[in-house]
């Protein structure tokens, strides 16, 4: 039996971190859906932000997206209604964006976030639930 599905996508700036997070997540029992890119050859981050957004919207499972800064790919993903992609630099951001924003995509900067810190951020993101309450109306306002 497989674990929870996590989609993951990156551009060339996020490739190395994506590869190490796939190993990490698989070791933690997650079933990782790797949407590419598959090498360090230069590609366009909007393509991969879109792939991740479409995957999340199709099955409701979360995604991790990575580009050099995490900025471009999160902008791309956030163009999709229903997507709340959050660029996180520390575990506390990841906890808060799950609790308050019900973020369904975690964005990381592959050229700025060390691997060990990225693992802590991912763990916090996946372990934290949405608080609901006053935050529910606010996230509903994003799509209306
Ligand atoms: C690619 O060089 C770089 O621009 C991209 O990975 C990302 O940082 C864009 O926001």
Give the Cα separation of 50 and 36 in Å (integer). Answer: 12
According to DSSP, the residues that pair with 105 across neighbouring strands are: 63, 85
Q: What is the pLDDT of residues 49-94, one digit of tens each?
A: 999 999 999 999 999 999 999 999 999 999 999 999 999 999 999 9
CATH assignment, 5-142: 3.40.1400.10
- Which is the closest atom of ligand 1 to the Cα of 111? 8
**Residues 58, 63, 64: CA angle, nearest 5 degrees:** 155
Is residue 88 part of the annotated active site? The answer reads: no
Number of helices (H) and strands (E) in the chain: give both, helices first: 6, 5
- Which is the closest atom of ligand 1 to the Cα of 71? 10
Residue 37's CB: how many other CB atoms inside 10 A? 23
pLDDT value for 17: 98
Question: Per-residue pLDDT averaged across 125-132, rounded?
Answer: 98
The answer to whether the predicted template modeling score (pTM) of the entire model surpasses 0.85 is yes
Question: What tokens appear for 131 in the block?
Answer: 């608080």
Alpha carbon nearest to ligand 1 atom 7, residue: 68
Is residue 67 part of the annotated active site? The answer reads: yes
Alpha carbon nearest to ligand 1 atom 5, residue: 68
User: Which residue out of 7, 12, 67, 88 is catalytically annotated?
Assistant: 67
Q: What is the pLDDT of residues 3-50, one digit of tens each?
A: 999 999 999 999 999 999 999 999 999 999 999 999 999 999 999 999
Give the Cα separation of 71 and 69 in Å (integer). Answer: 5
Res. 118: pLDDT tops 80: yes
pLDDT value for 2: 75
Question: What tokens appear for 100 in the block?
Answer: 């308050």
For residues 34 and 17, is the Cβ–Cβ distance under 8 A? no
């Amino acid at each position: 039996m497989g674990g929870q599905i996590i989609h993951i996508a990156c551009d060339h700036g996020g490739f190395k971190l994506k590869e190490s997070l796939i190993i990490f997540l698989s070791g933690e029992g997650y079933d990782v859906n790797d949407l590419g890119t598959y090498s360090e050859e230069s590609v366009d981050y909007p393509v991969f932000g879109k792939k991740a957004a479409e995957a999340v919207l199709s099955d409701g499972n979360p995604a991790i997206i990575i580009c050099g800064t995490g900025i471009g790919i999160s902008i791309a993903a956030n163009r999709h209604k229903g997507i709340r992609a959050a660029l996180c630099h520390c575990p506390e951001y990841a906890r808060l964006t799950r609790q308050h924003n019900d973020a369904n995509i975690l964005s990381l900067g592959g050229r700025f976030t060390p691997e060990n810190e990225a693992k802590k951020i991912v763990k916090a993101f996946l372990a934290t639930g949405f608080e609901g309450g006053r935050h529910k109306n606010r996230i509903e306002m994003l799509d209306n």
